[in-house]
Amino acid sequence: MNFKFSNLCICFAAIACLTLFTNCNKSDEDDNIHYFDPSMADVQTKLQETLITMNDGDIIHLKAGTYNFTATLSVDGKKNYTIRGEGINSTILSFAGQTSGSEGLKISNGEQVLLYNFTVQDTEGDAIKVKDTDGLSFINVGAEWTGEVTEQNGAYGLYPVTCTNVLIDGCYVRGASDAGIYVGQTEHVIVRNSLAEENVAGIEIENCNYADVYNNVATHNTGGVLIFDMPGLTIKNGHQCRVFDNQIIENDHRNFAPSGNIVGNVPPGTGLMIMTSKEVEVFNNTITNNNVLGVGIVSYLVLAYFDENLTYDDPVYQPYVRNIYIHNNTFARTTTYPQPQNDIGTILTSQYPAGDIPDIVYDGIENPDNTGAPEEKICIMDNINATFVDIDAENFFVGKSYDITPYLCTQNPLPEVTVTAPQP
């Protein structure tokens, strides 16, 4: 064979192989990826247009850098899509100059939505709000207000509400004037491996069914973890929540919630507060140096006593705690109360001027229709270094009791929660 012809054949063959190799490594999915860079001209307009016109199954890829946005980004009615960055500390969506809208990212009416590897900063209102979505994952997502925290900060960092199948994993929240991670009126929830610091509430589960909260760190919030149930919402009398294997430590921040916000009643120095919930299991947590309420077990009626705005007209709502099981947690504390205190905190600390409020505080308010059935009991067992008080809130401490004997019982463990939500 002619040497030149042979070399030419080899050259064409190499080009063909390279082309084939390239084509074989270019999946159909590549056509569905929309890339954005913070240096793009008019990146906000282009991104919003893509969020409106993208097809189900598309991927929005935000390259590393800081994006400066002035208006809410919104997505409605899309399915099976991903919004991803290149790292929680690398892709930053800054709304410090926001002039339109309240949220940073607002999502509604979705299915199988993955938010991954980026941070939203300094929004006027909530950082990321998601409504009416089935199958939602926040993975390695940040939501923060930079600088000194203030009541002017947005209420919620990560805020899924009226959703199903929600996974929050490896996230970071700071500076929310209500709750850093808030999950409300939602069924099948997992919050894990996340850090919440310097919020009013670090992690709040409100009116939810079937929630697991584990392997998180809640520190230097006003209250570390709140399990609340409120009247007048779509899910009535939320139930089945497990809180376990968390580090709930040094939640000592001043309460900077705006006036009229219910979390404004949470005393600085609260580790975990269970308010008007049922079927809550709290176990294997480290609850350290919260100093006012290691664990508070309270009725909605107590908060209503201190806040005249907390009335309710909901015939289905039951404002009492029941079926609570607190076991195998480790407690430690000092005698220094965080300052300044709110009204409830001031009353509690004035009862214990030496700084020795017991670790587990129960308000003692029982449902008058309580039958004494096992499923209605509060059980407290096998906690390390835990002291207890029933403060007899209805009679303003007159009959407070340190006798834990009526609460030494066990309950059947709650089942593990599973969710159907997308992964990277």
Q: Rounded CA gap, 231 and 310, in Å?
A: 10
* pLDDT for position 1: 40
Q: Which pLDDT belongs to residue 403?
A: 97
Query: Does 66 have pLDDT greater than 50?
Result: yes
* Average pLDDT score over residue span 307-323: 83
Q: Which residues contact 308 (CB under 8 A, 6 or more apart)?
A: none
Calpha distance 174→220 (Å, rounded): 10
pLDDT band at 183 (very low <50, low <70, confident <90, very high): very high
Backbone angles phi, psi at 62, to 5 degrees: -105, 110
Predicted pLDDT of residue 11: 38
DSSP letters along 5-29, please?
A: HHHHHHHHHHHHHHHHHHHHTS-GG
Over 80: is that where the pLDDT of 164 sits? yes
Q: How confident is the model at residue 13 (pLDDT cuts 50, 70, 90)?
A: very low
Beta bridge mates, 66: 92
pLDDT at 25: 32
Cβ atoms of 136 and 421 within 8 Å: the answer is yes
Tokens encoding 250:
């040094």
Domain boundaries, the chain: 126-407
* Residue-level pLDDT at 4: 35
What pLDDT, in 10s, does the model give residues 256-288? 999 989 999 999 999 999 999 899 999 999 999
Rounded to whole angstroms, what are the CA distances from 281 to 143, 210, 272?
28, 11, 12
pTM above 0.85, yes or no: yes
Provide mean pLDDT across the span 351-373.
90
The residue-averaged pLDDT of 370-375 equals 72
- Helices and strands of the chain, counted as H and E runs: 4, 31
Q: How many CB atoms lie within 10 A of CB 99?
A: 9
Alpha-carbon span 245 to 226, nearest angstrom = 15
**Would you state the pLDDT for residue 368?**
81
CB atoms within 10 A of CB 336: 11
- State both tokens at 414: 């709650």
pLDDT of 155 strictly over 80 = yes
Q: What is the pLDDT of residues 382-416, one digit of tens each?
A: 999 999 999 999 898 999 999 999 999 999 999 99
Cis peptide before 340 (omega within 30 of 0): yes
Mean pLDDT of 316-326: 92
- The mean per-residue pLDDT over the stretch 59-70 comes to 98
Q: Under 8 Å CB-to-CB from 389, ≥6 apart: which residues? A: 357, 358, 360, 361, 362, 400, 401, 402
Q: How confident is residue 311, by pLDDT bands cut at 50, 70 and 90?
A: confident
Residue 307 pLDDT grade (very low, low, confident, very high; cuts 50, 70, 90): confident
Higher pLDDT, 20 or 213: 213
* pLDDT score for 229: 95
Token output for 128: 């990321």
DSSP H or E run through 166: strand 164-169
For the cut 80, the answer to whether the pLDDT of residue 3 exceeds it is: no
Beta bridge partners of 40: none
Confidence of residue 312 (pLDDT cuts 50, 70, 90): confident
Residue 175, pLDDT above cutoff 80: yes
> Exposed, middle or buried by CB within 10 Å (0-12, 13-18, 19+), for 301?
middle
Q: Across all residues in the chain, what is the average pLDDT?
A: 91
Residue the block writes with tokens 């993208």: 54
